[in-house]
A and B are shown apart, each in its own frame.
Chain A
Amino acid sequence: MTPPTLEVRNLRTHFFTRAGVVKAVDDVSFTVERGKVLGLVGESGSGKTVTGFSILGLVDPPGRITGGQILFKGTDLATLSEAQMRDLRGNRIAMIFQDPMMTLNPVLRIDTQMIETVLAHARVSRAEARQRARDALGQVGIPSPEERLAAYPHQFSGGMRQRVAIAIALLHKPDLIIADEPTTALDVTIQGQILAEAQKLCTQYGTALIWITHDLSVVAGLADDIAVMYAGKVAESGPVSEVLDAPLHPYTRGLIGSVPSRNHRGAPLSQIPGMTPSLLNLPPGCAFRARCPRAEARCAEPPPFAEYLPGRHARCIHPHLAEVAAA
């Protein structure tokens, strides 16, 4: 049996700051199969970006991976040399950032940037590299790609810049793409185009996708599986439909209730009281307990990340099992 494209096991990434230890990622586990989309959701500061950076081996001091394993097609990335990691990045694993200018160089023409990226990992002629760049631009729906190659990033709209960044991520038809809120800054109509490209990618090339977002509606439409993060940990994970229809974790339930949806026009939204805790010197026990309607004394102990139903995990000692059974 072929191993999954990515398997993250009990990952911990901590920042050792002067003020104390920030446990940005603290026991995160998930799996992404070939051609599948995992929606990684959570509120700001919950550890989504640091999870993505950890997989790519891009965590800088004072941050450090302090535990767990990252298996890429069965290989433990911790066993790779820095050179091997560099070769993997941009070639087999690519990242798309919220701000496309993290990928693009403002002073270089698009063709220069794309050709260099091709040549960095493939032994082909310059002409062949240019051809690949053009095809990639066409693939993400940029009209007249031949002319666009000669443009500078500032000559593109925000949506087009993001599509160029995606085209660059596609150049080597990677096995895994980590997309960190790539459409958060874009308009709905442009977001639709980019989501369409992402879907095509998975079905055509079997690319596995981690789509990081705070938008549950995007995850609902795009992903196969979902992992909900809270305060550096996965609170709940499982197939998207099952989790959104009948969440196990009180936090997931609260989050879903907070989304305005057409069935409840004008009615008060259910709201989670309080706010997200600071990850600095977080006390032990369930991090959600100050906001949780089901909290009890036992919640002061760290709840295990348990598989309550086949393929469905939750980090809660008092999950909504009765509601799931009724759904």
Chain B
Amino acid sequence: MSETLEAPAMRTTEAPPIVEARGVSRRFAKTLDFAAKLARRLGVKVREEVVHAVDGVDLAIRRGEVVGLVGESGCGKSTLGRMIAGILPPSDGVILSHGRDLRSLDGPEARRVKLATQMIFQDPYASLNPRLKVEEIVGEAPLVHGLARRSELAAYVDEQLRRAGLDPALKKRYPHQFSGGQRQRIGIARALAVQPDFLVCDEAVAALDVSIQAQILNLFMKLRKELDLTYLFISHDLGVVEHLSDRVVIMYLGRVVEEAPAEEVFRSPNHPYTQALLAEVPRIDARKRSFAGVQGEIPSPLNPPSGCHFHPRCPHAMERCKLERPALKAIAPGRRSACHLNDLA
């Protein structure tokens, strides 16, 4: 393993949390998808309800670590990520950023704390203003927030672009003149320009081709070392998460079900859901294997199963699992899991 990962990983055990979620929940009035809207327009009855996108999550991210957040579509990863980044207020609970409750801050201090966390999205195009040149996209925020003087802005922007692996000669161009991978680099340069120490990356490489994805992943790892960054890395791609993370957090239907150092969770997952998830991951070194699939459907977050949300699909479910929500408990140093089986041992 590379030295670059060892050093920060060792330090993380004592480091204070850079951001912490305490008992955080978020509810939404469920919006209809395209098929449902169309059906409703044609007279089919479709109900509107409340979704518990995130349901009572505690999570601490320590300075210098890379935390991978995984789980199936709709389990609440992006919602949790946006709350942690301070761009979506929780319905319940608190988010502490750099030790401060985001709600209690205002004025320049609130701005400083907010800038310290930046978010990188899956679709960089949607988040880049199409009418601005790259130099404006990257230079706008540092100028407004007084991080660079106008006289030195050009050099400052060049530096951010170079860091993100873009030739500064391209800075007079508009976003549509770039490929997907290059647009992601523009998004990264824009985030770096406000000198954050914490990046929330939400499916940041999901839209990219494999060879371009490798370029961006390498860039994230290089920046971590150079700028001493902390990451929350949201991805449905377990291969990517395993490659990059020090610690992995697994969500199922709005709740954290397991949390562990990356190497341990991939070697010996504790929670039955994590076990099922990892068993299904296709791997390039597993040839002509037989797939099985986790039984049953991912339940709707509108109407989640009682007790342990996973019980209808769990091969080990017991009576208690239908009745009682399992708490996320320590099962070993640095490892937590939310499963009643751990009480039997």
Contact = CB atoms under 8 A, between A and B. Distances in A.
Contacts of A218: 282
A267 to B, nearest CB: 5
A189 B72 contact: yes
A204 to B, nearest CB: 14
A188 B280 contact: yes
B186 to A, nearest CB: 15
A222 B211 CA distance: 22
B144 interface: no
- Report, as a range, how many residues of chain B touch the other chain: 35 or more
Interface stretch (B96-104, B169-177, B285-293): B285-293
Contact of A158 (B73, B211, B215, B289): B73
A214 B280 CA distance: 18
B284 A216 contact: yes
Contacts of A187: 72-73, 236, 298
Interface of A is mostly: helix
B1 A199 contact: no
B276 interface: yes
A106 interface: yes
Contact of A220 (B39, B215, B262, B282): B282
A216 B237 CA distance: 13
B209 A270 contact: no
Interface string A257-284: 1111111111111111001100000000
Given A154-B33, A271-B215, A189 B263 contact: no
Interface stretch (B10-18, B122-130, B239-247, B322-330): B239-247
Contacts of B243: 260-261, 264-266, 269
Nearest to A276: B209
A141 interface: yes
A265 B238 CA distance: 12
B284 A259 contact: yes
Given A101-B35, A269-B214, A190 B293 contact: yes
A178 B222 CA distance: 40
B38 interface: yes
Given A218-B282, A269-B217, A189 B288 contact: no
Interface string B276-314: 110111111111111111101110100000000000000
Interface string B16-59: 00000000000000000101101100101010000000000000
Nearest to A42: B209
Contacts of B36: 154
Interface string A57-81: 0000000000000000000000000
A261 B72 contact: no
A32 to B, nearest CB: 16
A149 B239 CA distance: 37
Contact of B209 (A189, A214, A265, A268): A214
A196 B281 contact: no
A189 B294 contact: yes
B296 to A, nearest CB: 7
B263 to A, nearest CB: 7
Contacts of A271: 211, 214-215, 218
A131 interface: no
A253 to B, nearest CB: 11
Interface string B51-75: 0000000000000000000001100
B345 interface: no
A258 B1 CA distance: 17
A195 B283 contact: no
A188 B38 contact: no
A311 interface: no
Given A240-B287, A254-B211, A266-B243, A189 B38 contact: no
B284 A217 contact: yes
A159 B73 CA distance: 11
Given A152-B39, A190-B298, A214-B210, A261 B4 contact: no
Contact of A107 (B38, B211, B236): B38
A223 B289 CA distance: 9
A221 interface: yes
Contact of A189 (B42, B285, B289, B298): B298
A244 B284 CA distance: 8
A285 interface: no
Given A107-B38, A269-B243, A272-B211, A152 B72 contact: no
30 contacts: A43-B210, A101-B35, A106-B35, A107-B38, A107-B39, A143-B297, A152-B35, A154-B46, A187-B298, A189-B294, A192-B280, A192-B293, A194-B293, A196-B290, A216-B284, A217-B284, A220-B282, A220-B285, A220-B286, A221-B289, A222-B291, A223-B288, A241-B287, A255-B210, A258-B210, A259-B284, A261-B243, A266-B1, A268-B221, A271-B215
Interface of B: 1-2, 4-5, 33, 35-36, 38-39, 42, 44, 46, 72-73, 179, 181-182, 209-215, 217-218, 221-222, 236, 238-240, 242-244, 262-263, 266, 276-277, 279-294, 296-298, 300
Given A106-B38, A220-B287, A266-B243, 20 more contacts: A43-B212, A106-B39, A152-B35, A152-B44, A154-B33, A157-B300, A188-B281, A190-B72, A190-B293, A192-B279, A192-B280, A196-B293, A221-B283, A259-B284, A261-B243, A261-B284, A265-B262, A268-B2, A269-B218, A275-B212
